[in-house]
Amino acid sequence: MNCTDEQCSRRWLTLRERYGKEILRINAPPGSGASAEKVWPLIDSFNFLKQQIVPNRCRTSRNLMDFLPESPQDSLPSPPIADESL
């Protein structure tokens, strides 16, 4: 092969990332919009990576809703309490 070390490393990274994306696409829940119709021709060749690829926690609006206050009023600071003893 007439490739530099950098070119080989970059190509390996690209193929590994593609495999990870394909696994996510194949395992996507029904109705998510991900299509599993076309199969990447190298998927079987890269299955040795399956145990090494750990998906990141998906951040969706559902996950983000766990961190938002229940109402806009909850996020406002409390007004200072007036001292009536003065």
Residue 20 lies in a domain: yes
Residue 46 lies in a domain: yes
Residue 39 lies in a domain: yes
* Residue 57, domain extent: 5-68
47, 20 in Cβ contact below 8 A? no
Dihedral in degrees, nearest 10, Cα atoms 13, 15, 19, 25: 100
pTM of the model: 0.55
User: pLDDT tens for residues 26-79?
Assistant: 877 777 766 657 888 999 999 998 887 776 666 555 555 565 566 555 555 666
Residue 77 lies in a domain: no
Domain count, the chain: 1
Q: Please give the residue that has the higher pLDDT: either 15 or 70.
A: 15
Residue 84 lies in a domain: no
Ramachandran assignment for 33, one of left (phi > 0), alpha (psi -120 to 50 degrees), beta (any other)? left
Residue 82 lies in a domain: no
Residue 21 lies in a domain: yes
Residue 74 lies in a domain: no
